[in-house]
Structure 1
């Protein structure tokens, strides 16, 4: 094999499986476990394997990280954090290329991202919460309970093209100065600065579920409403890019639970964005609180074509849905 071929193979073996991606999403995971903890390792794999392309279990030995570095998006170390840190410190090179590392104890009490929080570790730690582990996230946006640009990319089924820019844009997130993701369709040539994060779509164009609700609407109501709406269109669940709603609904428990059940990201839009994309159906909320109807405006704002496929429908006086593209 030539040197160029070897370089190409080395590049392709890196953890970023999406072209041009800076690896904000983990898809292939290795659980590294001591032999005596294999039962717990199997429980972890069984508990989250439906959310990832591949999960393998590697038995721990002194060189296990050296031997498999670059083969996986994320290592889950079923071990003390000190062991994982000492055994990987010499391998760390670049935050955009290094695999993520999460450590978890045998009792599944804590899931601690050590490296690559915004590049898969927070994602995996969050999924381990379904097994009872508490995600101990220390990245600034998560600590502040705000959606960083990497999280926004994941929610929109996109990836970050220019990773270095996220230093500035995530600082803007912390200061509440970033605003919603601007959508630009081409063909166009765009000149951006170092403080502009560029997101690129992962898949083909689909549809966006715009949704609103009364406070406290159940996950079952959201799911039933979304399915009802999709059945009135030519789209299916596989065509849904994400769920869109208003910032004032971003903590709605039922909405978030429903989105997780369908493995969909949630994108929120502020009042100004929704007003600029107001739908055709009159809404009392504009008269009462100054917000336009959330479902139609969110579906329009999130869609590539900025158009509605299905105007607002209601479900059980709890949830409203519109479909955009």
Structure 2
């Protein structure tokens, strides 16, 4: 596949070999009568994107700017956006994503590129009250697709065509955890193996657990203190790691979003392979190893524990791995 690096002239994600998962530059396309609403969207999303432009709709507006943005947000009926962009679509890994939102900001609907920025933008539009209507199979089933795993791991998909098979495996609960291969090594894979390449090598992983209902502020405070102990800061965090039994913890998800980090969920079997040194009551009570340390070790590139488990406010546990 082609190299979408920052110097390639493409308007899409700037990571080499990228799956285009993250939308950084978006255009809001609006009829003149709704430009005030478009400007409202721009203001509310300004902190989340590198660039947001408002374009006044005309018949060739999508064609004129195709390839200039990671995602188009059409403030219009879905039929208009579909008719005007259908003839421009060529390759799901190269095309910009397209989202439509109705004029009353009730629904945000990804039309194309759900795993390549559209779902992300639709989710962000929920800040304005719009309900994100995501139809990609993994999200509809409440599961983490391969592209979402890549984003959470601060990595990108190298061989995009493979995700047809691996996302089907996700739906059938057959994929299992992402296997980590540390080099130098050469690897030979088939068409049904998705290769994820890390975007950086020097970060740390926040392994975390909690009591049910722990608050966003409690997670953030616990994580910040652990990073201080590791002499690291927020920019050093590659991702947050936890166990699958904590997948729906809203405080944790909100805190991870606050710091711009993805969340990776490890199965009990994986965590048992990377059990940390600190005794945990959860093992004797429910058979799970201590989630914070095991997640930090399992997620780290070197499988090393930098900071052992810390407990904050009797609500959140955290460990730092690399």
Q: TM-score range by the shorter chain?
A: over 0.9
Match of 1:303 among 276, 300, 303: 300
**Alignment partner, residue 167 of structure 2:** 170
CA distance in 2, matches of 1:84, 1:10: 29
What aligned pairs does 1:174-193 form with structure 2 within 5 A after superposition? 174-193=171-190
Match of 1:83 among 61, 80, 84: 80
What aligned pairs does 1:137-286 form with structure 2 within 5 A after superposition? 137-286=134-283
Q: Relative to structure 1, is the Cα distance of residues 86 and 271 closer, same or farther in structure 2, using a 3 angstrom cutoff?
A: same
Helix, strand or coil for the counterpart of 2:197?
strand
What does the per-residue CA deviation read over 1:260-296, in whole Å, with 9 as the maximum and x for residues that have no partner? 1112111110000000000000111111111000000
CA contact (8 A) 2:308 2:319 kept: yes
Helix, strand or coil for the counterpart of 1:67?
helix
Helix, strand or coil for the counterpart of 1:320?
strand
Helix, strand or coil for the counterpart of 1:230?
helix
Q: Relative to structure 1, is the Cα distance of residues 289 and 115 closer, same or farther in structure 2, using a 3 angstrom cutoff?
A: same
**Alignment partner, residue 126 of structure 1:** 123
CA contact (8 A) 1:16 1:97 kept: no
CA contact (8 A) 1:180 1:269 kept: yes
Match of 2:132 among 118, 131, 135: 135
Match of 2:66 among 59, 65, 69: 69
Count of residues in Structure 1 that have an aligned counterpart in Structure 2: 318
What does the per-residue CA deviation read over 1:194-243, in whole Å, with 9 as the maximum and x for residues that have no partner? 11111111234210000001111111111111111111111111000011
Displacement, 1:53? 1.4
What does the per-residue CA deviation read over 1:47-77, in whole Å, with 9 as the maximum and x for residues that have no partner? 1121111111111111111111011110000
Between 304-313 and 19-28, the greater mean CA deviation after superposition:
19-28
Displacement, 1:11? 5.0
CA contact (8 A) 1:14 1:97 kept: no
Helix, strand or coil for the counterpart of 1:200?
strand
Helix, strand or coil for the counterpart of 2:240?
strand
Between 133-142 and 254-263, the greater mean CA deviation after superposition:
254-263
**Alignment partner, residue 92 of structure 1:** 89
Between 140-149 and 51-60, the greater mean CA deviation after superposition:
51-60
Between 294-303 and 8-17, the greater mean CA deviation after superposition:
8-17
Q: Does 2:52 correspond to 1:52? A: no
CA contact (8 A) 1:79 1:105 kept: yes
CA distance in 1, matches of 2:216, 2:62: 41
**Alignment partner, residue 290 of structure 1:** 287
Displacement, 1:308? 0.5
Runs of 4+ with >3 A deviation: 8-11
Displacement, 1:9? 11
Gaps of 5+ in 1: 1-7
Helix, strand or coil for the counterpart of 1:314?
strand
**Alignment partner, residue 5 of structure 1:** none
CA contact (8 A) 1:21 1:160 kept: yes
TM-score by length of 1: 0.95
